[in-house]
Structure 1
Amino acid sequence: MLCFSPFISYFGGTNMQRIISLMYQKKKIILVLITVLFGIASIGYSLYLGNVLRYPDERWYFNDYAQNLAKRHMFSRDGISPTAFHPPVYPLLLGGLVMLGLGVTAVRLLNFLFLFLTWLLLFFWLEKRFPGPTSLFALLLVLGYPVLFYTAGTLYPQTLGAFFFVLAL
């Protein structure tokens, strides 16, 4: 068991050690619980947002780039002139999904899947590098940052980029 002596002595010594030890022993249960709650929240938020694209960038990615890639096989916003204004990976992914007939809600769910896989990869990478409760605490800290969840609910490439970044570790 790792000892965080200043942290533990400040928060009550033995009781805090028991809590950390119990969390570490129940790590698998906590991971399953997080997975289920994240899945429910992701599906609920995606259904709540529906097919509405709230920001201009989302409309560019989905209505312009993805539709032109799917229908005209051209990386273009206006369907006439090719462009290199945005990086192509995310619009290419969206274009492929549009070709399959998937809508905005399905793409949002895919973003949430990438966010979940990013968290999972980060957890296992930390578990391998720093055995002990560190990986679980890091996961709980990341889960407590609502901007990540909010961003996954938009059609922005940040979630996919974070996934590739953590995958490269």
Structure 2
Amino acid sequence: MKAPHFRWYFLVWLCGATGVVLFSILAGAGTKYWDETQYLEIARNVASGVGYVSEGAPTAYRPPAWPLILAAPLALRLPEPVVYAVPAALLVLGSIVAWVIGARLVSYRGLARYPAGPIAALLVLLYPLNVYTTGTLYPQMLATLLLLGMWLIVSNSLDRGRRRIRLAPISALGLFCAVLTLAVPTMIFSAVVILGWVIWKSPNRRSQLLLCGGGAFALPISVWGYRNMNVVGAFVPFSTSTGVNLLLGNNDNASGSSGVDVDVLEYQRYAASLNNEVDASAYLQGVAIDWIFDNRGSAAGLYLFKVLNYFSAYNEPATQGQGGQIAAVVAWVSFLAMVTLTVARVILRRVVPMLPSESLFLLVFVLNAFAMAVFFTRTRFRQPLDNILLVEAAIGIVSILVAVRCRRSRPVNGLTDVAVRR
């Protein structure tokens, strides 16, 4: 890409990044959802030295990665608006990683002059769902950065035809997977599939890679679980919200898109009367499992609708006063545009052949529907994975440009003047 073009792309990206940070600070000033309030409460307690505490008691209800990150600026005594800017900062970093991924994916095919990198960065930075999420204190932007970072490691290690991955990258990948699952436990399926695939693709070193990558993945989770065993009385690897989340997605009142907007108060009241949150989670989980086995036909149908809802562009927030018709229209238009360009990229894979990491991450995007539907699916939960499609959409734009140029070029000895390295 020529230097003048790069400067223009960078200027547009810089303006967008500045706007997103400002939006994050203004929109985040005053939490809108109960989840945000609890994340911030725990972060404040950690920063002040009280510990990982919520409502005056040690807790494992929220997984630790996100509150600990929010606690960092508070511990440094930075102004609280800095905390609200954390999601935007993570999105900005994620867009930079997307820039590198997009640039490398096309450069590996001899198409470095096409601006896939800056296009990917701008799509990730300005995708409406991403921008909206920066105005909340949800961990989805952390998951976005980690997922894109994992893609960069995988692509850098294996897309160039290497049959071996070094121990340092696989260790970093395992650590990223651990932090991802300790931020958003529903992303554990993605983490395990990606890490397992990379290890499997290096048959001569599987034992070493499993030891390094698997160890880096297991160690942080084990530390958190050991803490919970000593503090809340059980080895909890992720969180004690598993039971309520399973019940919210599996009961008589649930629908494919109901999410948390389900009346399970009767069970929650009884769970609150139990000894601790570990017993409460176990009780709620048992109720959900009993309902599934007692209503197998209904549970199977509900599961199918939850899978379909995973691919929805918009879910109405359960909190009153949030969302709206304009938000729904923007979400649907942007989502359909992203999917259309991704489909174009897949269709034109003979023009710009797909690399192994692209196939892997697209497969992860689709298969996550079946993993997340075990509990319940929401657009917000899928949001980190949308960034896979945004990068592929950028490659789709490049594929269209290459296809048009191929069509306009006159064949010479059966070849065109557009060379795509296969």
| Fold similarity call, TM over 0.5 | yes
**Where does residue 98 of structure 2 map in the other structure?**
122
Relative to 1, partners in 2 of residues 1:29 and 1:108: Cα closer, same or farther, differing over 3 Å? same
Gaps of 5+ in 2: 108-113, 152-422
Matched residue SS, 1:54: coil
CA distance in structure 1 between the partners assigned to 2:37 and 2:139 by the alignment: 13
Confirm whether residue 165 of structure 1 aligns to residue 141 of structure 2. no
Q: Could you tell me whether the CA contact under 8 Å between 2:25 and 2:135 is conserved in 1?
A: no
Q: Deviations over 1:23-72 (max 9, x none)?
A: x544412332233212331343244336311211111111x211221224
Residue 40 in structure 1 maps to residue 18 in structure 2: yes
Equivalent-residue separation in structure 2 for 1:41 and 1:94 (angstroms): 21
The match for 2:52 is 75
| Aligned with residue 29 of structure 2, among 51, 60, 63 | 51
Does the 8 A contact of 1:46 with 1:108 survive in 2? yes
What are the equivalent positions in structure 2 for 1:7-156 lying under 5 Å apart?
A: 25=2, 26-49=4-27, 51-62=29-40, 64-80=41-57, 82-131=58-107, 132-156=114-138
Q: Say whether the 8 Å CA contact 1:50–1:104 is kept in structure 2.
A: no
Higher relative contact order (CA 8 A, sep 6+): 1
- CA–CA distance in 2 between the matches of 1:126 and 1:46? 25
Figure out how many residues of one structure are paired with residues of the other and give that number: 144
Supply the AA of the counterpart residue of 1:127: A
Structure 2 CA distance for aligned equivalents of residues 149 and 68 of structure 1:
28
Q: Which moved more, 1:42-51 or 1:64-73?
A: 42-51
Which of structures 1 and 2 has the bigger CA Rg? 2
Q: How much has 1:148 moved relative to structure 2?
A: 0.2
Structure 1 unaligned spans of 5+? 1-23
Query: Structure 1 94/160 Cα, relative in aligned 2: closer, same or farther at 3 Å?
Result: same
Contact 1:112–1:152 under 8 Å retained in 2: yes
State the distance in 2 between where 1:68 and 1:88 align. 13
CA contact (8 A) 2:92 2:125 kept: no
**Alignment match, 1:8:** none
Q: Secondary structure at the match of 1:130?
A: helix
Q: How far did 1:100 drift? A: 1.7
Query: SS at the partner of 2:53?
Result: coil
Q: What is the aligned partner in structure 2 of residue 4 from structure 1?
A: none
Instruction: Judge conservation of contact 1:58–1:156 (CA < 8 Å) in 2.
Output: yes
Equivalent-residue separation in structure 1 for 2:18 and 2:120 (angstroms): 22
